[in-house]
Amino acid sequence: MELGGKSANIFFDDCNFDHAIDGAVMGILLSQGEICYAGSRIFVQDTFYDKFVDVLIKQFNSVKVGHSMDPNTMMGAIVNEKQLNKILEYVKIGESEGCKIGCGGVRITENGLDKGFYMKPTLLLDVKNKMRVAQEEIFGPVAVVIKFHEVDEVIAKVVDQRY
């Protein structure tokens, strides 16, 4: 795990699956992804990519977003509207680059959350390592998922960025 800038989390098919899913979720959604060591790039070995992504999407969709004083809340608001808009712009950039939104990607305004800066946890899929969303720090609850096959390939991808 590389911590800083565009932190990489690498998941091989022999990992403890449940722990890996938990790590991927907490790695990016802790502090709404607004933390320097957020696990914003999720590299998943191709041999179990589909299974991993399916479960990861279910986990992201089950995260309760809301007011931080609500004991059921799992993820709070983005720091301010300017940052929320920046994050949402990166989702659009990802789409324009050819990414697929696996889940999230939108502001939440239901149930009184329109008074704050809330966003659904977001996964961008079909990401290529050279895309802006894989290279630039989004600083929000957005993770990019990148497929790889072997160790040398993933190491080359992890280090192929400016951070």
Active site residue 81: no
Which of these, 5, 9, 60, lies nearest to 37 by C-alpha position? 5
Catalytic residue among 2, 97, 137, 153: 2
Catalytic residue among 15, 36, 89, 136: 36
The answer to whether 81 and 116 are in contact (CB under 8 A) is: no
Per the DSSP assignment, residues forming a β-bridge with 11 are 44
Active site residue 2: yes
Active-site annotation, residues? 2, 36
